[in-house]
Homo-oligomer: A and B are copies of this chain.
Amino acid sequence: MAQSDKATLVEDFKPASSNQPGKPYPQVNSQARVRASISAPQATKVQLDLGGKKYDLVKDDKGVWTGESLPQDEGFHYYQLNIDGASVPDPGSLYFYGAGRLGSGIEIPAGDGDFYALKNVPHGLVSENIYFSKLTNAWRRCFVYTPAGYNESTKTRYPVLYLQHGSFEDETGWAVQGKTNLILDNLIADKKAVPMIVVMDNGYANKPVTGTTDNTARPVSIFEEVMVNEIIPMIDTKFRTIANREHRAIAGLSMGANQTMRIIMNNLDKFSAIGGFSGTPNYPSADVIDPNTFLDGKFKDGAAINKQLHVLWLSWGSKEPNPFPGSIGAFRNMLDKQGIKYAQYESPGTAHEWQTWRRSLKGYVSLLFKN
């Protein structure tokens, strides 16, 4: 951190809410700066690697390295420490799966953080569900949120939202850093969302490789088939769902937005609502979309789509990097041209990160199953 930044540092740092129990570091101050600290007496260089920048920490006479970042966006960020060239998790933080690894994350308090706070309202359960997928010939896992009251009342049936993560993330994303359970608990308690089941599965599902010696073959995703032929039937058997299109929604973030938009347009008999958070199926292109050819002409008949889709939701962060503004913009232009109605939301002051997606989930589920 430059001297000019040091001069304006406000000394009101507190341990982050995303820390391990009792761990004093990392800390966050009222400027949304992060202070990292670690004992590494024999190290020659220690850095905090956060938000695409590496901040040099400074060693004290006890061998403890400490330093601060520039102010961060509100919400959740992945980060790591670098110790003499080794990239490692911070031993002070909890760990989160994203960016292709289980590693450190930090929660920057947000002005609107109340909607995902742990509050004195009835709480649903999040269940870990292991299953064997014949299509992929592999064990898979999903997390299933059931709303408060699900277990007590053994007759009520519920609508279902299938909710997908982004690239280099997994089925824990929405269940852990996404705070899906708390967002739903709070909305349902406030009667802003109807009680629903939320299924969070893994978007990576590849065709098994058999009878080939070609190790360079790219994996072929069959997630759509797994969703339609394995996940939905399993959930409709194991949980008390209302098993029809009117009571089944889907949504995803980034890669998951792309995937779920394709899934719903190929399966309009199975779903009636779609949410695309920070992603569209034309990604990464910002070119004008021709509805006659795009996705085999699935968006050609705007009037029919308006009848079939009860909710079509698109959202993004105001600070999204390229190519997202361009590709989402091109997709919206196509929808507008086709006269296809959709709800839209721009998350203020957030980028391609979890705070955008938490806010998107809040807005989207508030519209679901209300027809």
Contacts and interface: CB of A to CB of B under 8 A. Distances in A.
Interface in A112-130: 118, 120, 123, 125-130
A151 interface: yes
A147 B85 CA distance: 47
Contacts of A256: none
B85 A42 contact: yes
B84 A42 contact: yes
Contact of A127 (B83, B126, B154): B126
Interface in A224-252: 237-240
Contacts of A129: 123, 125
A38 B120 contact: no
A102 B20 contact: yes
B84 A91 contact: no
A348 interface: no
Contacts of A90: 88
Interface in A61-81: 63, 81
B88 A88 contact: yes
B130 A43 contact: no
Nearest to A123: B130
A100 to B, nearest CB: 8
Nearest to A100: B22
A131 interface: yes
Contacts of A240: 151, 154
A118 B89 contact: no
B39 A86 contact: yes
Contact of A132 (B120, B130, B152): B120
A41 interface: yes
B84 A40 contact: yes
A103 interface: yes
